[in-house]
Chains A and B, each alone.
Chain A
Amino acid sequence: MSGFDKVVASYEEAMAGLEDNMTVIAGGFGLCGIPEGLIAQIEKMGTKGLTVASNNCGVDNFGLGLLLPKRQIKKIIASYVGENAEFERQMMSGELEVQLTPQGTLAEQMRAGGAGIPAFFTATGVGTPVAEGKEERNINGRDYILEEAITGDFAIVKAWKADRYGNLVFRHTARNFNPMAATAGKITVVEVEEIVEPGELDPNEIHTPGIYVNRLIKGNFEKRIEQRTVRSV
């Protein structure tokens, strides 16, 4: 690595510095657009006590679900966690702390975290269990709750293409939480399908500028599909 070149040589280097009890923000929606190799590397490192902010927690044996068997996650902040038997077991037994957060609030918490906004008011969750313990305020006749931003020691992100400077392009709905996650990590690590030379990506079409990216690695993705749904021709 030199200058603006963010490319690292190995997964070890990509996740170097991740320690027990850190907070990790992960991009992805279900199994779509998840940094598969970076998650596998965390599993391999055996890092424990992690707080993870991610819309979902993978499935048994794939995605963030890989971090469950060895109890590497202490707390998860997510909007929907329904696809995972081991997850349910750990949640019900109290081994895993789960903070259910509305999807739009979670996206905005990451966005705010990366944008230097410490908290924001939202109508989402007013009068529900989500509002418990949070400051409420009436603004122009409507009730809102105060939600705090989320930042991470690490953010792990999946993109489609990157140049060596870390400028990122996402593909289809694999974009989802990845751009916000990328802004909210002290160290943002991005796993991509293809790395090109600076200048090869059209600056007009870059979704995430390289300023947010610290480390970049080319991965090999399985891209597992959760609900394969087809129409007959």
Chain B
Amino acid sequence: MALTREQLAQRVAQELQDGYYVNLGIGIPTLVANYVPEGMEVMLQSENGLLGMGQFPTEDEIDADLINAGKQTVTMATGASLFDSATSFAMIRGGHVDLTVLGAFEVDVNGNIASYMIPGKLIKGMGGAMDLVAGADNIIVTMTHASKHGVSKLLSNCTLPLTGKGCIKKVITDLAYIEIKDGKFHLIERAPGVSVEEIIALTAGELVIPDNVPEMAV
């Protein structure tokens, strides 16, 4: 079975480490915050100027001056700090954020990512995504492996305008955990109950299959 959004977030959360500063993108990445392992401390960075993002507010706590990068009302965690946008992106571009998790439309075997624009259809802008992929060493892309119509999102060459070039090394989809190196996808884990053959069929770019492909623990 393909992973649900929650299971996907759960698998990504296993990549967290104690003491990490983490930037979570909009969508599935946001859900990762719900699965921080017990006893582990991570601090969430929101690129509009907050380090130490807390949970959503109660009705009484709502404050129009306190939002996240998705413009949702949030709270501050204990030990939070606030800063301007230039400082925020200095953190991001300067490589100070330990882990970035973001969504994508397409990823290819050379680590290119397309996530912000579908020409003629969706032109909303890149927000902070280009800065995030350019600045972070440790990036996890989360997305469905293929479109609803079964078209692979793991390609030989991205077809949409790029968000970043050669910057993606890890992709966790609803079917598989894949690493990118030497111009190839490498299958590391598969979703419980999903066969290697299913993954091969939905991966358009060259995929290296090791002898043993363990199931994800979710």
Task: Please list the residues of chain A having a beta carbon within 8 angstroms of any beta carbon in chain B.
Answer: 29-33, 55, 78-82, 88, 91, 98, 100, 102-108, 110-111, 122-130, 160, 170-180, 207, 223-231, 233
Contacts and interface: CB of A to CB of B under 8 A. Distances in A.
Given A103-B128, A172-B66, A30 B93 contact: no
Nearest to B69: A29
Contact of B126 (A80, A110, A111): A80
Given A105-B131, A176-B84, 20 more contacts: A31-B71, A79-B128, A81-B124, A103-B89, A104-B47, A122-B93, A124-B130, A125-B130, A126-B164, A128-B162, A173-B67, A173-B82, A224-B64, A226-B67, A227-B71, A227-B72, A228-B62, A229-B56, A231-B57, A233-B58
Interface residues of B, number: 51
A55 B58 CA distance: 28
A127 to B, nearest CB: 3
B147 interface: no
Interface string B84-122: 111011001100000000000000000010000100000
B172 to A, nearest CB: 23
B73 A104 contact: no
Interface of B: 46-50, 55-59, 62-68, 70-74, 76, 82-86, 88-89, 92-93, 112, 117, 123-131, 134-135, 161-166
A228 B57 CA distance: 9
Contact of B59 (A81, A91, A123, A230): A230
Contacts of A230: 56-59, 62, 73
Contacts of B66: 172-173
A129 B161 contact: yes
Contacts of A80: 124-127
Contact of B130 (A29, A111, A130): A130
A227 B84 contact: no
Contacts of A105: 130-131
Contacts of B73: 225, 227-230
Contacts of B74: 229
B56 A173 contact: no
A128 B165 contact: yes
Given A172-B66, A225-B73, A231 B85 contact: no
A88 B124 CA distance: 9
A174 B84 contact: no
A225 to B, nearest CB: 5
B89 to A, nearest CB: 3
A126 B82 contact: no
Nearest to A225: B64
B131 A102 contact: yes
